[in-house]
C-alpha cells in the first residue's frame, strides 16, 4: 500500500479516513474501516462522557487498529473530548475556529489533534493551534459545509501554506477520486457519502435507497435543514428539500438520540438513522457530489477494497 504522512502518523496501512457522521458511523462501520487499514471514525457529538466512554469501550472490542472521534464545535462537551483523547488515536473538531486549548486537552491525554477546515485562513489557524492533522473540506462535501471553495482549489491553497499532513474531503467516492487527491498532494482521502450505503452503516434503508437512485447533479447546498443549527450550510439530496417544503405539520418523525427518543421537527438537522420513524424522505438526506458512486449496498471492507484499487 502507498505510504503517506497520514499512514505514518496514524500507524495505519491505507490513506483513507472515514468521515465521522453522527448516527451513521456505528462502531461496526468504524471498526470495519480500521480493520481494512484505514482510519475509522465515530462521532462524539451529543454524547455525554459516560455514554461516549461506553461506546468507545465497545468499539475497542471490535478493533485493535487506530480509530478517531469527531466533534462538532456548536455541540461540544469538553469532558467528552478528554474521554475521546484518552481512548482513541485521533480527536477531530469541525465547524468552529481552531482552539489551542482543545488541542492541548487532546495532546495531554496522548492523542493526535485534527481540525476540519474550509479555508486557507482556517488551515493556518489550525496549524498555529498545534494540530497534527488538517482536513481540507471542499464544497462538494455532503452534510455541513464550512467554506465556499471546491476541493482541489482549496487543497492547492492549503498545501502551499501548512506543514502538517492534509486530508482531502469533498466529492470523493471512487478509486479514481482517491488517486486524484493523493496525486494533488493530499496525505489521505476522507470518504463519507459512499459509506452511508455500507452494510454496517446506521443510515435508514429509505435514505440509502434515495442515495442509490441519485446522481451527482441531484444534490444542493442549502440551509433548508437548520432547526438545531441555524445558518449552517449543508449539502443534501434535492429530493428531500422538495419533500420537506411540501410537508404539512411541525414534526416529521422520531429518532433515537444517545439512547433517548426525540421528535424530529420539520427542517431539523437530524438525519434519518435505522431507528428513525416517520416521513424519512422529508428529513435531511445529506449527500455529497460523490453520490453517483453509491450504486449498491455492500460491506465496508468491500467499499475499502474498491477505493484503494488504484493506489
pLDDT of 32 above 90 = yes
Average pLDDT, the chain: 96
Contact partners, residue 6, CB within 8 Å, separation at least 6: 12, 15, 17, 39, 133, 165, 167, 187, 188
Parallel/antiparallel/unpaired status of strands 90-94 and 219-222: unpaired
CA distance 149 to 157: 10
Domains and CATH numbers, the chain: 5-200+295-307 (3.20.20.70), 205-291 (no CATH)
Q: Write down the pLDDT at residue 256.
A: 80
- What b/e readout covers 259-282, taking b as 16+ CB neighbours within 10 angstroms? eeeeebbbbbbbbbbeebebbbbb
Q: In DSSP terms, which residues pair with 261 in a beta bridge?
A: 256
Q: Write down the pLDDT at residue 55.
A: 96
pLDDT of 85 above 80 = yes
Q: How many residues in total does the chain contain? A: 311
pLDDT of 310 above 80 = no
Contact partners, residue 217, CB within 8 Å, separation at least 6: none
Is 2:185 a contact under the CB 8 Å cutoff?
no
The reported pTM is 0.96
- Which stretches of the chain are DSSP H helices? 5-10, 27-35, 49-60, 78-87, 100-108, 120-128, 151-159, 175-183, 205-213, 238-246, 300-307
Is 290:194 a contact under the CB 8 Å cutoff?
yes
Among 296, 301, 281, 54, CA closest to 200:
301
- Percent of the chain past pLDDT 90, that is, above it, reads 95
pLDDT tens-digit readout, 167-221: 999 999 999 999 999 999 999 999 999 999 999 999 999 999 999 999 989 999 9
Amino acid at each position: 500500500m502507498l505510504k503517506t504522512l497520514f499512514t505514518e502518523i496514524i500507524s495505519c496501512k491505507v490513506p483513507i479516513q472515514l468521515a465521522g457522521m453522527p448516527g451513521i458511523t456505528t462502531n461496526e462501520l468504524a471498526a470495519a474501516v480500521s480493520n481494512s487499514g484505514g482510519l475509522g471514525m465515530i462521532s462524539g457529538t451529543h454524547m455525554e462522557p459516560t455514554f461516549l466512554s461506553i461506546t468507545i469501550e465497545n468499539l475497542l472490542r471490535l478493533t485493535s487498529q487506530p480509530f478517531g472521534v469527531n466533534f462538532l464545535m456548536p455541540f461540544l462537551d469538553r469532558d467528552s473530548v478528554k474521554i475521546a483523547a484518552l481512548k482513541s488515536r485521533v480527536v477531530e473538531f469541525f465547524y468552529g475556529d481552531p482552539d489551542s486549548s482543545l488541542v492541548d486537552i487532546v495532546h495531554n491525554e496522548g492523542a493526535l489533534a485534527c481540525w476540519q477546515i474550509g479555508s486557507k485562513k482556517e488551515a493556518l489557524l489550525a496549524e498555529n493551534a498545534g494540530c497534527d492533522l488538517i482536513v481540507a473540506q471542499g464544497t462538494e462535501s455532503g452534510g455541513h459545509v464550512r467554506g465556499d471553495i471546491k476541493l482541489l482549489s482549496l487543497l492547492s491553497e492549503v498545501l502551499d501554506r501548512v506543514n502538517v499532513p492534509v486530508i482531502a474531503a469533498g466529492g470523493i467516492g471512487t478509486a479514481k477520486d482517491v488517486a486524484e487527491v493523493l496525486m494533488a498532494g493530499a496525505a489521505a482521502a476522507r470518504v463519507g457519502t459512499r459509506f452511508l450505503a455500507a452494510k454496517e452503516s446506521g443510515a435508514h434503508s429509505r435514505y440509502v435507497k434515495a442515495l442509490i437512485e441519485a446522481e451527482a447533479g441531484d444534490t444542493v447546498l442549502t440551509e433548508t435543514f437548520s432547526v438545531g443549527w441555524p445558518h449552517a450550510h449543508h449539502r443534501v439530496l434535492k429530493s428531500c428539500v422538495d419533500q420537506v417544503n411540501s410537508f404539512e405539520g411541525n414534526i416529521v418523525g422520531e429518532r433515537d438520540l444517545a439512547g433517548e427518543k426525540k421528535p424530529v421537527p420539520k427542517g431539523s438537522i437530524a438525519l434519518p438513522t435505522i431507528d428513525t420513524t416517520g416521513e424519512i424522505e422529508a428529513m435531511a438526506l445529506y449527500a455529497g457530489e460523490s453520490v453517483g458512486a453509491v450504486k449498491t449496498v455492500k460491506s465496508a471492507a468491500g467499499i475499502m477494497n474498491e477505493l484503494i484499487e488504484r493506489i
